[in-house]
Chain A
Amino acid sequence: MVRSVGRDGPRFAVLRLEVDDRIAHLPGQHYVVRLRAEDGYTASRSYSIASAPGDDLVEICVKQLANGEVSEFLADVVQPGDELEVRGPLGGWFVWDGESPALAVGGGSGVVPLVAMLRYARETGHRDRICLVAAAATHDDLPYVDEILGGCNVVALSRATAPGGRPAGRLSADDLRPLLRPDQVVYVCGSAGFAEATTRLLVDLGVAPTAIRVERFGPSA
Chain B
Amino acid sequence: MAVTRGFTRRRERDDRLPPGQYDVGADWPVLTAEVTPNVDPQRWTISVDGLVARPTTWTWDQAHALPQSEYHGDIHCVTTWSKLGTWFGGVSVDVLLDAAGLLVDSGFVMATSTTGYTTNLPLDDVRGGKAWIAWSHEGTPLTPDHGGPARLLVPHLYFWKSAKWVIRLTVMDHDEQGFWERNGYHDRGDPWLEQRYQGD
Partner-B contacts on A (CB < 8 A): 34-39, 41-46, 67, 69, 73, 77-78, 82-85, 87, 90-94, 192, 195-196, 199, 203, 209, 212-221
Besides A36-B7, A85-B2, A217-B79, 14 other CB < 8 A contacts?
A35-B7, A37-B9, A38-B8, A73-B6, A87-B197, A192-B30, A196-B30, A196-B145, A214-B32, A218-B28, A218-B30, A218-B81, A220-B29, A220-B79
A92-B184 contact in complex given A39-B9, A73-B7, C-beta closer than 8 Å: yes
Shortest Cβ distance from residue A111 to the other chain B in the assembled complex, whole angstroms: 18
Verify B2–A83 contact, CB threshold 8 A: yes
Verify B4–A93 contact, CB threshold 8 A: no
- The CA-CA distance from A45 to B29 in the complex, in Å, is 15
Query: Most A CB atoms within 10 A — which of B4, B6, B22, B33?
Result: B4
Q: Mark B21-46, 1 if CB is under 8 A from A, else 0.
A: 01010011111111111000000000
DSSP class of B's interface residues: helix, strand, loop or mixed? loop
The verdict on B11 contacting chain A, using a C-beta distance below 8 Å, is yes
Contacts of A93 in B (CB 8 A): 33, 179-180, 183
Contacts of A94 in B (CB 8 A): 33
Verify B29–A36 contact, CB threshold 8 A: no
Contacts of B180 in A (CB 8 A): 93
Q: Mark B45-69, 1 if CB is under 8 A from A, else 0.
A: 0000000000000000000000000
Nearest A-chain residue to B33, judged by Cβ: A93
- The CA-CA distance from A85 to B35 in the complex, in Å, is 33
Contacts of A87 in B (CB 8 A): 197
Nearest A-chain residue to B30, judged by Cβ: A192
The verdict on B5 contacting chain A, using a C-beta distance below 8 Å, is yes
Contacts of B7 in A (CB 8 A): 35-37, 43, 73, 77
The verdict on B129 contacting chain A, using a C-beta distance below 8 Å, is no
Verify A41–B13 contact, CB threshold 8 A: yes
The verdict on B1 contacting chain A, using a C-beta distance below 8 Å, is yes
User: Which single member of B2, B27, B81 contacts A36 (CB below 8 Å)?
Assistant: B2
Verify A213–B33 contact, CB threshold 8 A: yes
Verify A214–B35 contact, CB threshold 8 A: yes
Shortest Cβ distance from residue A72 to the other chain B in the assembled complex, whole angstroms: 9
DSSP class of A's interface residues: helix, strand, loop or mixed? mixed
Nearest B-chain residue to A203, judged by Cβ: B35
Nearest A-chain residue to B182, judged by Cβ: A92
User: Which single member of B24, B34, B37 contacts A219 (CB below 8 Å)?
Assistant: B24
Contacts of A73 in B (CB 8 A): 6-7
User: Which single member of A41, A69, A90 contacts B197 (CB below 8 Å)?
Assistant: A90
User: Which single member of A42, A46, A83 contacts B79 (CB below 8 Å)?
Assistant: A46
Shortest Cβ distance from residue A216 to the other chain B in the assembled complex, whole angstroms: 5
A219-B5 contact in complex given A44-B80, A45-B80, C-beta closer than 8 Å: no
Contacts of A221 in B (CB 8 A): 22
Shortest Cβ distance from residue B59 to the other chain A in the assembled complex, whole angstroms: 24
Contacts of A203 in B (CB 8 A): 35
- The CA-CA distance from A29 to B44 in the complex, in Å, is 34
Verify A67–B32 contact, CB threshold 8 A: no
Contacts of A44 in B (CB 8 A): 20, 80
The verdict on B10 contacting chain A, using a C-beta distance below 8 Å, is yes
Contacts of B79 in A (CB 8 A): 46, 217-218, 220
- The CA-CA distance from A220 to B21 in the complex, in Å, is 11
Verify B22–A43 contact, CB threshold 8 A: yes
Nearest A-chain residue to B179, judged by Cβ: A93
Verify B20–A34 contact, CB threshold 8 A: yes
Verify A46–B3 contact, CB threshold 8 A: no
Nearest A-chain residue to B7, judged by Cβ: A35
- The CA-CA distance from A142 to B16 in the complex, in Å, is 36
Shortest Cβ distance from residue A94 to the other chain B in the assembled complex, whole angstroms: 7
Shortest Cβ distance from residue A50 to the other chain B in the assembled complex, whole angstroms: 19
The verdict on B19 contacting chain A, using a C-beta distance below 8 Å, is yes
Shortest Cβ distance from residue B119 to the other chain A in the assembled complex, whole angstroms: 13
